[in-house]
């Protein structure tokens, strides 16, 4: 295998610009759900941009110690080309450091950018620059980031909110201009190194979900465009940029089907930024899109095979499961008729989407128990939901024709899409560790 790869790459080792997009939790089913919506509801005759790339394949994601990986082990594999155990960041199973492709490129004089829609010290971005035995060692991970030398790091905030002032001071002491928000970014664009956050410590692990349409929220596309602009200024002759769509994973852990689809469409806007650059530099640019793992095991289907999946109904949903649960907390004194009216406005239930007597009875029984000791709450990685919220969104998924198998990760392979110089080397089944190694060959980095 290694000999064949070397033979393929040797003919065209001229890649100068690498864009690596990682849809966190984005399985093949997630992509197909978004594409089905794109085709049947939006009426687009062209597939999602990443699905138009000339290379479409798959990658296996298992970690060194588990058939079902977590984001730390998968992020490390995608960043370094080596397997490690779940929860470990940038180290081998024996805790010795393994150097990422990004760090190797930085040492070789390339510009490096790391962008994510979640916390910049979350597992996937951290694997690009940090070396810690546990993904939850945020203070240590941030210290590694401050000393990485990377030119552009962007994310929602730091997980370590209580120590955020010291963390940002450490970045500043290591030559970073720290900007909280796009307006603040305007004032530091001349800096060599930038740390950009959305600036909201109350939402440290998300810039906001697309479906919630938060006014003025910084988007992943905004951060991607800002990172590209910065890298072109400080390193116009070559750079590497990793962009993570982290909110896909948040929605999938919640089993919120409509929000997953809207997040993948949002992710495409960031890929478009890189693709427009590729069109100007087609012989020097490589774009690879993949996922770290599959979250939720999403698939499309209906109870009766002769019916179409009614994905058009997801446009009735104007609020994520996360925010709906928060809405219920804020309005716990609502009567059943008042919460029904709110669900009609925010979710389309009763107003557009029919609700059976049995479905209403399920929801009302859970609503009556909401917040009591008898409430069997639903715990997922990022949030604990009332059983009422869980039942409402389970019913919605069923109405849409979306199903999930788990609230956690699945061991399924994930998609790989590629375009640009040398992209054909990704055209067969990949192990996730092969992806950065193939990139390294294409860049001709010793």
Residue 157 is part of which domain span?
2-295+409-443
Q: What are phi and psi of 436, to 5 degrees?
A: -65, -30
Residues 340 and 200 both lie in one domain: no
What is the residue whose two structure tokens read 């590209």?
228
Residue 361 CB neighbour total at 10 angstroms: 10
Residues 206 and 355 both lie in one domain: no
DSSP-based three-state secondary structure for 320: coil
What is the residue whose two structure tokens read 């991607």?
224
Residues 98 and 17 both lie in one domain: yes
Residue 342 CB neighbour total at 10 angstroms: 17
Residues 268 and 394 both lie in one domain: no
Q: Is residue 157 part of a domain?
A: yes
Cα–Cα dist 353/98, whole Å: 52
Residues 137 and 226 both lie in one domain: yes
What is the residue whose two structure tokens read 């992710």?
267
Q: Is residue 307 part of a domain?
A: no
Residues 282 and 329 both lie in one domain: no
Kind and range of the H or E element at 241?
strand 239-245
Residues 222 and 278 both lie in one domain: yes
Nearest to 194, CA basis, from 148, 149, 144, 153? 153
Cα–Cα dist 128/194, whole Å: 16
**How many domains, the chain?**
2
What burial class does residue 338 get, using C-beta atoms within 10 Å of its C-beta: 0-12 exposed, 13-18 middle, 19+ buried?
Answer: exposed
Residue 179 in contact with residue 197, Cβ under 8 Å?
A: yes
Q: Is residue 22 part of a domain?
A: yes
Q: 53-66 as b/e, with b when 16 or more CB fall inside 10 Å?
A: bebbeebbbbbbee
Residue 106 in contact with residue 112, Cβ under 8 Å?
A: yes
Residues 148 and 58 both lie in one domain: yes
Residue 417 in contact with residue 288, Cβ under 8 Å?
A: yes
**E-state strands within 304-403:** 378-379, 384-385, 402-403
Residue 301 CB neighbour total at 10 angstroms: 12
Q: Give the CATH number, domain containing residue 213.
A: 3.40.720.10
Dihedral sign computed on CA atoms, order 58, 64, 67, 69 = negative
How many angstroms separate the first and last alpha carbons of the chain? 19
Residues 267 and 338 both lie in one domain: no
Cα–Cα dist 444/446, whole Å: 6
Residues 378 and 429 both lie in one domain: no
Residues 238 and 345 both lie in one domain: no
- DSSP letters spanning 169-212: HHHHHTTEEEEESHHHHHTTTT-SEEEEE---GGGTT-S--GGG
pLDDT of residue 214: 85
Residues 338 and 424 both lie in one domain: no
Written as tens digits, the pLDDT of the chain (446 aa) is 332 333 333 334 489 999 999 999 999 999 999 999 999 999 999 999 999 999 999 999 999 999 999 999 999 999 999 999 999 999 999 999 999 999 999 999 999 999 999 999 999 999 999 999 999 999 999 999 999 999 999 999 999 999 999 999 999 999 999 999 999 999 999 999 999 999 999 999 999 999 998 888 899 999 999 999 999 999 999 999 999 999 999 999 999 999 999 999 999 999 999 999 999 999 999 999 999 999 999 999 987 766 788 999 999 999 999 999 999 999 999 999 999 999 999 999 999 999 999 999 999 999 999 989 999 999 999 999 999 999 999 999 999 999 999 999 999 999 999 999 999 999 988 899 999 999 999 998 86
Q: Which residues lie closer than 8 Å to 174 by C-beta, 6 or more apart? A: 146, 147, 193
């Amino acid at each position: 295998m290694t000999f064949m790869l070397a033979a393929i790459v040797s003919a065209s080792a001229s890649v100068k610009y690498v864009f690596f997009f990682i849809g966190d939790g984005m399985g093949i089913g997630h992509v197909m759900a978004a594409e089905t919506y794109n085709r049947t509801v939006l009426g687009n005759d062209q597939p999602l941009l990443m699905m138009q790339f000339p290379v479409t394949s798959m990658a296996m994601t298992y970690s060194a110690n588990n058939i079902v990986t977590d984001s730390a082990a998968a992020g490390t594999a995608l960043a370094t080309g080596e397997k490690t155990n779940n929860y470990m960041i940038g180290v081998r199973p024996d805790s010795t450091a393994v150097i990422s492709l990004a760090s190797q490129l930085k040492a070789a004089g390339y510009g490096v950018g790391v962008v994510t829609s979640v916390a910049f010290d979350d597992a996937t971005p951290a694997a690009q620059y940090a070396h810690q035995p546990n993904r939850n060692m945020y203070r240590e991970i941030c210290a590694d980031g401050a000393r990485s030398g990377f030119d552009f790091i962007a994310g929602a905030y730091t997980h370590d909110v209580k120590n955020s002032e010291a963390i940002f001071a450490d970045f500043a002491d290591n030559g970073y201009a720290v900007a909280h928000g796009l307006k603040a970014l305007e004032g530091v664009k001349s800096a060599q190194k930038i740390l950009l956050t959305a600036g909201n410590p109350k939402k440290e692990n998300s810039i906001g979900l697309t479906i919630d349409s938060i006014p003025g929220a910084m988007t992943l596309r905004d951060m991607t465009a800002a990172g590209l602009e910065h890298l072109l200024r400080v390193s116009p002759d070559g750079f590497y940029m990793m962009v993570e769509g982290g909110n896909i994973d948040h929605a999938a852990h919640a089993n919120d089907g409509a929000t997953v689809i809207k997040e993948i469409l949002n992710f495409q806007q960031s890929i478009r930024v890189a693709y427009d650059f590729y069109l100007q530099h087609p012989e020097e640019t490589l774009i690879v899109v993949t996922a770290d793992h599959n979250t939720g095991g999403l698939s499309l289907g209906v109870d009766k095979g002769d019916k179409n999946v009614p994905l058009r109904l997801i446009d009735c949903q104007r609020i994520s499961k996360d925010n709906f649960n928060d809405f219920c907390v804020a309005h716990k004194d609502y009567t059943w008729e008042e919460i029904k009216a709110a669900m009609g406005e925010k979710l389309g239930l009763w107003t557009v989407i029919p609700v059976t007597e049995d479905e209403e009875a399920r929801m009302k029984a859970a609503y009556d128990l909401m917040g009591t000791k008898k409430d069997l709450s639903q715990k997922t990685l990022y949030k604990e939901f009332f059983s009422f919220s869980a039942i409402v969104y389970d019913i919605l998924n069923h109405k849409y024709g979306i199903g999930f198998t788990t609230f956690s990760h699945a061991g399924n392979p994930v998609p790989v899409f590629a375009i640009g110089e040398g992209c054909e080397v990704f055209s067969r089944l990949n192990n996730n560790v092969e992806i950065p190694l193939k990139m390294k060959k294409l860049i001709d980095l010793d």
